[in-house]
Amino acid sequence: MLRSVIAGSGSAIAPHRVTNDMLARIMDTSDAWIRERTGVETRYYVEPGTRTTDLGVIAAERALEMAGVAREDIDLVVFATMTPDQYFPGCGGLLQSRLGLRPVPAFDIRQQCSGFLYGLQLVDAHIRAGLARTALLVGAEIHSGFMPWGPGSWARLAGDVEAPLEPGEWETTTSVRHLTVLFGDAGGAVVITAADDGSRGVVDQALYADGTDAAKLCVPGNGFARRPYVDPEQIRRLEHVPVMDGRYVFKMATTRMTEAARALLERNGLTPGDLKLVLMHQANLRINEFVQRSLGLSDAQVCHNIQRYGNTTAATVPLLWDECVRGGRIEPGDAVLMVAFGAGMTWGATLVRA
C-alpha cells in the first residue's frame, strides 16, 4: 500500500515583528491581557503589496530544498488559505507558475484553520489512488489585510507618529480587539512523496465539518449574497472583518480537538502515551493547554509557537512541523498527531509516522 511521506518542509515568516505593546498604541489593550488570555507575545506582518502566494512560494522553495525534490517532479499542488491574493483565481495555479512547475493539477481549498489537515487528506488520497507521487501542500495567510486600521493607526504601530490616535479610530480598532490581536501572517509548506515500505507516512485521518454555527466565526460581508458583492457601506460597517464569538470557539475547539484526537488514536489501537509529539493548531495557547490536560499529554509531547507568531490559520501546522523537524524534535519514524479546529466549523486529526 502506498503511503504519503512528508519528505521536506519549509516556512516563511513575514518581516515586521509586532509586539503586544505596539498594538496597545492603537487600541485599548495591554500586553498582560493578551498574554494571559491567549499566550501571544508577538506576531509578524507583511509589507503592504505582499501576497499570500509570495509567502507560499518562499515556504515551498525551502520545502523542496529540504526534500531534495526537483521542481519537475511535482505532480500535484494543494494550496490552503482563507486570505487569497484576490477573489479568483486561487493561489494554487499562481504558485505553480511562480515556481516554474509543470502544468499539474492545482487545488485551492479553504477550510480555514483545518485547511492543512484537509489538504493532507486530499494529497494522501491522490497518492494512495496512484494519481500523484510527489505533491506540494502549502498553507499560507496574510491576515494583516483584515485589520480595519487607517493610515494613522499603521503609522503609530510603526512608531512613526507619537500623538494619540484620533478618538473615532481608537473606538473602531478597540471594537475588534478580541480578534485582531490573535493573528499574524506566515506561510508553511511540505513536500509529500509516495513510499511503499509502510514504515513512514500518513497513517490515518479523521476530518469533520458542521456548518450549523458557521455564523459564529465568519466574514459576514463581501460575498455574493450581496449585489454588488463589495461596497463602501459594507466596509464602513466592518463587514470585511471576521466576526467571532470567542467563548463559543474556545469551547468548541477544546471539545472537538480532544474528541478527534481520542477517536483517531482509539481506532489505531494507540494511547496518547504512544505519541512522540502532538502538533495542535495554534489559535490560543490556553485552548491547547486545555487539550493537553484532557489527553494527559506531557510537556515534552507538545510544542507551541503561538507565542511568537500568533494564529496563522492554514500555516500553523506546517510551520510547527517545520520548526520541530529543523530543531530535531521530530525524527524519521516518530508518531506525530496533528489536530486542528477552525471556522466552518471544521476540525480533525491526522496521525503520521514522520
CB contact set of 110 (below 8 Å; sequence gap of 6+): 80, 81, 82
Active site (annotated) includes residue 281: yes
**Catalytic status, residue 311:** yes
Residue given cell 472537538 in the structure block: 256
Choose, by CB under 6 A, the member of 91, 113, 202, 279 that binds ligand ACO: 113
DSSP letter for 236, please: H
Minimum CB separation from ligand ACO for residue 157, in Å?
A: 14
Please name which of 254, 325, 329, 236 lies closest in space to residue 5, comparing C-alpha atoms: 325
67-106: contacts with ligand ACO (CB under 6 A): none
**3-state secondary structure (DSSP) of residue 10:** strand
CB 283 within 8 A of CB 258: no
Interface residue with ligand ACO, options 253, 302, 351, 352 (CB under 6 A): 253
* C-alpha neighbours within 13 Å on the C-beta side of residue 253: 28
Nearest distance from residue 177's CB to ligand ACO, in Å? 4
Instruction: List the interface residues with ligand ACO, window 161-220 (CB under 6 A).
Output: 177-178, 181, 217
Cα 70 versus chain centre, distance: 26
**Using rule CB under 6 A, residue 154 touches ligand ACO:** no
From the list 31-39, 60-68, 270-278, 322-330, the region that binds ligand ACO by CB under 6 A is 31-39
Secondary structure letter of residue 14 according to DSSP? -
How far apart (Å, rounded) are the C-alpha atoms in residues 158 and 160? 6
Complex with ligand ACO: residue 204 or 245, whichever CB lies closer: 245
147, 343, 349, 351: which one contacts ligand ACO (CB under 6 A)?
343
Between residues 61 and 154, which has the closer beta carbon with respect to ligand ACO?
Answer: 154
In the bound complex, what is the minimum distance in angstroms from residue 178's beta carbon to ligand ACO?
3
Q: In 3-state terms, what secondary structure has residue 76?
A: strand
Q: Which of 2, 33, 243, 259 binds ligand ACO (CB under 6 A)?
A: 33
Q: Nearest-CB residue to ligand ACO? A: 246
Interatomic CA distance for residues 37 and 282, integer angstroms: 13
State in angstroms the smallest separation of the CB of 34 from ligand ACO. 6
Taken in order 122, 127, 133, 134, is the CA torsion positive or negative? positive
Quick one: 75 or 141, whose CB is closer to ligand ACO? Answer: 141
Report how many residues bind ligand ACO under the rule CB under 6 A.
23
* 3 state SS of 117: helix
Q: Which of 4, 11, 29, 153 binds ligand ACO (CB under 6 A)?
A: 29
**Least separation, in Å, of the C-beta of 283 and ligand ACO?**
3
Which one is catalytic: 284, 305, 311, 324?
311
Query: Which residue matches cell numbers 469551547?
Result: 251
Cell 515500505 identifies what position? Answer: 197
Listed in sequence order, the DSSP H helices in 268-333 are: 285-295, 306-309, 316-326
Shortest spacing between CB 9 and ligand ACO, in angstroms: 22
Site residues (CB under 6 A) for ligand ACO, limited to 284-303 = 284
Cα separation of 317 and 323, whole Å? Answer: 10
Q: Out of 96, 134, 153, 311, which residue is the one contacting ligand ACO (CB under 6 A)?
A: 311
Of residues 231-250, which lie at the interface with ligand ACO (CB under 6 A)?
A: 244, 246-247, 249-250
Angle at 163 between CA 159 and CA 167, to 5 degrees: 115
Respond yes or no: is residue 113 known to be catalytic. Answer: yes
Residue 331 CB-half CA count within 13 A: 2
Strand 106-109: give its sheet, edge to edge.
Answer: 3-13, 186-195, 134-141, 76-80, 106-109
Which of 283, 317, 337, 338 binds ligand ACO (CB under 6 A)? It is 283
Interface ranges with ligand ACO (CB under 6 A) = 29, 33-34, 37-38, 112-113, 177-178, 181, 217, 244, 246-247, 249-250, 253, 283-284, 311, 313, 342-343
Among all residues, which ones are annotated catalytic?
113, 281, 311
